[in-house]
Amino acid sequence: MIRVGIVGATGYAGEELIRLLLGHEKALITKLVSRTFVGQFMEDVYPSYFGYDLPRFEKASKVELASECDVVFFASPSGTAWPWIRDLISINPRIKIIDIGSDLRLKDPLLYKEWYGYEHGAPELLLKSVYGLTELNFEKITNAGLVANPGCYPTAVILAFAPLLHFGLIGVDSIIVNALTGISGAGRALSQGYHFPECNENMKAYGLLRHRHVPEIEQELNIIGKAIGRDEPVCLSFTPHVVPLNRGILITGYGDFRWDKAKVSDLNIKPDTLGLTQLYKDFYHGKKFIRIRPADQVPQTKAVAGSNYCDISIRADERTGRILVMSAIDNLVKGAAGQAVQNMNLMFGEPEDTGLNLAPLWL
Ligand SMILES: NC(=O)c1ccc[n+]([C@@H]2O[C@H](COP(=O)([O-])OP(=O)(O)OC[C@H]3O[C@@H](n4cnc5c(N)ncnc54)[C@H](OP(=O)(O)O)[C@@H]3O)[C@@H](O)[C@H]2O)c1
């Protein structure tokens, strides 16, 4: 059995992780770390866990965590995980770590000051960590000890745009993304804007021009572009909105369609919606959790809720010369805990779908 510890276990991402791991035949939860609920059980915090055999929440010491777990997940706020991760590795260099937060995601430590407002105190971790977007970094994750689980929006955006970057079919300075998220994306801590009367029957944009996920998306799309010899950096316009749903992310993205006859003939596709849909199917062939929707369908949050799927659909807009690409995920599953379990599976040599064969919840 894989012995699992979770720091930040009482938050929404931590709760989802516990739900998934309870259905994982190889995982055994041994340590649940909380600052607020020490001595209590999961069912005291979330009544849905009534009767489940889980350890009490504890203020575990780093030595205990490092010696009694094979893998530790961090589901704690940005800036809180890196000191723990640094110390756990120094106590037990063989321990595996998956950070569902953002402390391992950006390769340039200066970006933490600029976008998150704190100094990253362990930049050496950033060089060692692998970006855990499972479908794109499968081999690297298999050999990794330290995984940066991607952000929820970055998961939806990068998976939607990766084939276009990979085949050089989009103007990298023309990418615009609008995104919608359910309220659970903001976490469980109380805040006025997320009170029921404030957010129900309401939709609003937030994080204008400077959302923290922008450098992460640009970083990863640039890596894909560079791999085909393009040095021109991605310049993303990204506007997230919060909508009255519990869970779910839907993105609609646009960019200039860059194709020339030679490239399209090399790829053996027609430069239209059907051709691009086929290209996406080929790119994600064998990737179980990516579903490319046919040209008469759209991704929707209900069709992925509670599951680890990312649904994607693409259109060539012949009138404007732009591409429209859409994707939907469950922010707590493919956007957080599900992808983290997918990464754990690869890190421990398990089939990537162990514990993740969940059909979506339509109702
Ligand atoms: N919500 C999402 O959709 C989503 C998606 C992808 C990634 N993430 C990331 O996952 C992480 C958790 O998000 P969340 O939505 O689950 O947040 P959350 O509901 O607010 O939960 C965070 C948990 O972390 C613990 N915590 C708070 N401060 C801490 C500290 N200084 N040290 C250790 N633990 C601390 C708290 O538990 P105790 O008070 O019991 O210790 C809290 O329950 C964040 O980094 C977030 O960016 C969230």
The 8-class DSSP code of residue 107 comes to S
Give the distance (Å) from ligand 1 centre to CA of residue 117: 17
pLDDT at 283: 96
Instruction: Give yes or no for a contact between 355 and 20, defined as CB atoms under 8 angstroms apart.
Output: yes
User: What integer is the mean pLDDT of 280-286?
Assistant: 97
Q: Is the pLDDT of residue 263 over 80?
A: no
Burial of 357 (C-beta count, 10 Å sphere; 0-12/13-18/19+): exposed
pLDDT at 347: 98
Collect all residues with Cβ–Cβ distance below 8 Å to 272 and sequence separation of at least 6.
316, 318
User: What percent of the chain stands above pLDDT 90?
Assistant: 93
Domains of the chain, earliest start first: 2-128 (3.40.50.720), 153-331 (3.30.360.10)
345 ligand 1 Cβ < 6 A: no
User: What integer is the mean pLDDT of 97-115?
Assistant: 97
Q: Is the pLDDT of residue 332 over 80?
A: yes
To test ligand 1's pocket by mutation, which of 12, 86, 216 has the most ligand atoms within 8 angstroms of CB? 12
7 ligand 1 Cβ < 6 A: yes
Give the distance (Å) from ligand 1 centre to CA of residue 95: 21
List, in sequence order, every beta strand (DSSP E) within the chain. 2-7, 27-33, 57-58, 71-74, 96-99, 130-131, 146-148, 176-181, 204-205, 237-242, 249-256, 290-292, 310-317, 322-329
Q: Is the pLDDT of residue 262 over 80?
A: no
To test ligand 1's pocket by mutation, which of 72, 73, 76 has the most ligand atoms within 8 angstroms of CB? 76
2-16, 30-44, 255-269: range with lowest mean pLDDT = 255-269
The 8-class DSSP code of residue 192 comes to G
Please choose, from the candidates 202, 208, 206, the residue with its C-alpha nearest in 3D space to the C-alpha of residue 243. Answer: 202
| Atom in ligand 1 nearest the alpha carbon of residue 35 | 41
**Residue 126 in 3-state DSSP?**
helix
Collect all residues with Cβ–Cβ distance below 8 Å to 125 and sequence separation of at least 6.
82, 85, 86, 89, 103, 104, 146
pLDDT at 21: 98
Instruction: Give yes or no for a contact between 56 and 30, defined as CB atoms under 8 angstroms apart.
Output: no
Give the distance (Å) from ligand 1 centre to CA of residue 100: 9
Phi, psi of 5, deg, nearest 5: -115, 145
User: What integer is the mean pLDDT of 166-183?
Assistant: 96
- Over residues 66-91, the pLDDT tens digits come to 999 999 999 999 999 999 999 999 99
pTM of full prediction above 0.85: yes
